[in-house]
Amino acid sequence: MSDPTARAEVPDRYRRAVVPHIMVDDAAAAVDFYRRAFGAREDFRIDAPGGGVLHAEISVAGSVLMLGDAGTEEAETASSASFASFASPASLGGGTSVTLHVFVPDVDALAERAEAAGAQILQPPTDMFHGDRTVVLRDPSGHLWVFLTHLEDVPDEELRRRLAASS
């Protein structure tokens, strides 16, 4: 693959994204973890009247993530039978169907910092066929994250060739 010190720009299609809103069992602790592990910045917080975090927004590598406590009375009251519950991965047996992708300048440094902060590395930083160096991890709340450092733009034909060769 390309020299990891020669960074390409993040593709335009990934610069603007749907803003994920995740639920956790201890949002204050999650914000602290994301700060230590991912270098997140807390941008906004509304504490729930009964305790906990009703809604918080953080920035991770310039991407916005919304989160809140799954167990706050306000969050539980806001849900109804017609909507998915405001549940954390732990309350669902530890599983999640969502994986959060974020492009960062140095995926190796982020992986090292995240593991030291308590993340479980599921795939160590690896140069992938699609032109990104990628790490996959699970945070202490059970959410899955893929952090990527874009190395090169790969034309469709070359992408298919590399994928076939990696199988």
In the chain the domains, ranked by start, together with CATH numbers, are 13-166 (3.10.180.10)
Cβ-contact 150, 107 below 8 angstroms: no
DSSP state of 14: G
Q: Which two tokens stand for residue 148?
A: 């990527």
8 vs 63 pLDDT, higher one: 63
Cβ-contact 56, 67 below 8 angstroms: yes
- For the stretch 85-110, pLDDT in tens is 577 787 778 777 688 999 999 999 99
Q: Which two tokens stand for residue 58?
A: 């953080």
Instruction: Tell me the whole-structure pTM to 2 decimals.
Output: 0.78
- For the stretch 142-153, pLDDT in tens is 999 999 999 999
pLDDT over threshold 50, residue 71: yes
